[in-house]
Amino acid sequence: MQKSQSRLLELDFFRGLVLLIIVVDHIGGSILSRVTLHAYALCDAAEVFVFLGGFATATAYAALAERRNEATARSRFLQRSLEIYRAFLITAGLMLLVSAVLTAFSIDGPNLATTDLDDLMDAPVAALRDILLLRRQPYLASVLPMYAFFALLVPMILPLARSKPWLLLAGSVALWAGAPAIDAYLPAAPDMHWDFNPFAWQLLFVLGVLARCQPVYQRISAHRLGWLVSLLAVAVVATAAYYKLFVEREPLDGSFKQNLSYLRAVNFLAIAWLVANLIELGWARKLAQWMPWVGTIGRKGLLCFIAGAVISLVADSVLYAATDGYLNYPLGLVADACAVGGLFAVAKASEPLKRFTARLWSLRLKLIA
């Protein structure tokens, strides 16, 4: 992995790829989702998303601290936490709005936020209060509170990752082990829960930070017995794939994902090690250069996550209504194409729109002056 670049081509590529996978994985009739990670592993794109989030955070923090100073970097990530919280509120509002519009058109998808809508209609003040306090997290908005929590911890995590990595790792593992017991103390409205327990998922975020701050991969792979780690990773990935394809084809219990079970974590780490080998061989960079549009999505991570949540909810609901919930290959591929194309269009249009807005604001200031 490269050390000096603040903007890694492979990082943008994998972040974009994960965002695309998250979109199609949340479309029930998607054809592409039949061949994404969750179909062959005990983990899914969520693990990749969180790990890359930690890696990207460490990259951005180090670059900012080098250009300016540590105080500026710490301040930036406290501000980032507020930005993610704002993104959560926007996403939650969009989930409710889209659900309301689709319901009005008699499109009854399986993942519409109907419970939240009913509660909002019955007790609007209480429902809005619950959303503001993270006690209610409509559908795909549920991953963002966890990220806001991680951003708050960045000023503490990054110095430890550089100076006392083993202490940070030990604390993270201990917190992960006790996370199921802590889950009961997370703020939640009646009959609601956090889809992602941040005290468990912080483990992958911390591992992503450590992978960026410490030469973990380089040291292990350079050891004379490093090949044994790769062999073990292959064995873990193959065993998990066999189990998922031929033994247990039904999804694992929801608590396995909510509290990041060790089965998911170990399977992901094995996959991550093998992908690191591909990066070292240069294959990932070649893929990123061959498909630069994927990196475009990765560079607009937060925006594309919000847009992807809306796109997947609409596509999933419309496709479900059109097929009565049955798998339809032509319509499923159409939904996939619309979802992928829509997400790329959002990423591509964001910069011109941002420049246009900046010009309008500048013109307004000149007129006022």
| Domain regions of the chain by residue span | 9-368
Residue 263's pLDDT is: 95
Instruction: Give dist(CA 7, CA 275) in Å, integer.
Output: 19
Residue 1's pLDDT is: 41
Q: Considering only CA atoms, which of 9, 11, 1 is closest in space to residue 56?
A: 11
- Residues 99-150 have pLDDT tens digits of 999 999 999 889 999 999 999 999 999 999 999 999 999 999 999 999 999 9
Instruction: Give dist(CA 136, CA 127) in Å, integer.
Output: 8
Contacts of 221 (CB under 8 A, 6+ apart): 229, 230, 276, 277, 280
> Are the CB atoms for 143 and 309 separated by under 8 Å?
no
The whole-number mean pLDDT for each consecutive block of 10 residues of the chain, a chain of 369 residues, reads: 55 96 96 95 96 95 89 90 96 97 93 93 96 95 95 93 96 97 92 94 98 93 92 97 89 88 97 94 92 94 95 97 94 97 94 70 63
- Residues 164-177 have pLDDT tens digits of 999 999 999 999 99
Residue 304's pLDDT is: 96
Residue 363's pLDDT is: 66
Residue 361's pLDDT is: 63
Q: At what angle do helices 301-323 and 292-299 cross, to 10 degrees?
A: 110
Instruction: Give dist(CA 324, CA 213) in Å, integer.
Output: 49
Instruction: Give dist(CA 36, CA 18) in Å, integer.
Output: 10
Residue 259's pLDDT is: 96
> Are the CB atoms for 184 and 135 separated by under 8 Å?
no
> Are the CB atoms for 194 and 258 separated by under 8 Å?
yes
